[in-house]
Amino acid sequence: MSLRPALPEDFAFIRSLAQRPDYGIYITDEDEGRLAFYASDPRHRLLIWEQNGARAGFALFAELDDPSGAVELRRLALDVAGGGRGLGFVRALTDYAFSVLGAKRVWLDASSENGRAQKIYARAGYTLEGRLREHWWRPMLGRSVDLMLYGMLRAEWEALPSPAPLAAPEP
């Protein structure tokens, strides 16, 4: 399992995940132009998660220039969920944010209707920090949903048991 920077040839894979009915209600699909921006902008990090040399997921970090040291894990999705893959993926992304990006704080959000994500974030050590009621318009649902905000501080991450080493790209 490893993380690497996304390339233009990965954009179709990223969009295929964002367009799936099981993900589309929870994550935003963005066109190739926007993905190219994320891949080249120093304030963002668009990554591909690989297992055995094959694409297995993607993640987008944002706010890398925030003077507070807070980094947003804005988007993440796996090609195949279940079997503990989500928890391993979130832990690897959290480790990347703190160890490679130098974050002081990592935060992310989840739809209040995405119970699977909320369980994974809690199990990975994130704290539920707030709820924005009827905040996020979801076109596939035709309505707004509550947005759950999660965060982890560097000291909390440092107190977690050490996971297996991850091959991660340099910043």
User: DSSP letters along 47-91, please?
Assistant: EEEEETTEEEEEEEEE-TT-TT-EEEEEEEEESS--TTHHHHHHH
The CA distance from 151 to 106, in Å, is 6
Beta bridge partners of 106: 71, 152
Q: Is the pLDDT of residue 39 over 50?
A: yes
What architecture is domain 2-158? 3-Layer(aba) Sandwich (3.40)
Note the maximum CA span of the chain. Answer: 42
Neighbours of 115 (CB within 10 A): 10
The CA distance from 88 to 83, in Å, is 10
Q: Is the pLDDT of residue 22 over 60?
A: yes
Q: Where are the domains of the chain?
A: 2-158
Neighbours of 44 (CB within 10 A): 18
pLDDT at 6: 98
Q: How confident is the model at residue 25 (pLDDT cuts 50, 70, 90)?
A: confident
pLDDT at 170: 47
The CA distance from 42 to 65, in Å, is 8
Give residue-wise pLDDT tens across range 127-157. Answer: 999 999 999 888 888 889 999 999 999 999 9
The set of residues, in sequence order, having a beta carbon less than 8 Å from that of 164 and lying 6+ positions away, is none
In the chain, the percentage of residues whose pLDDT exceeds 70 is 95
Low-confidence winner among 10-14, 71-75, 110-114 (lowest mean pLDDT): 110-114
Place of tokens 């804005």: 74
pLDDT at 23: 87
What is the mean predicted confidence (pLDDT) over 27-45?
95
The CA distance from 31 to 39, in Å, is 12
Could you give the 3-state DSSP secondary structure of residue 142? Answer: coil
pLDDT at 163: 59
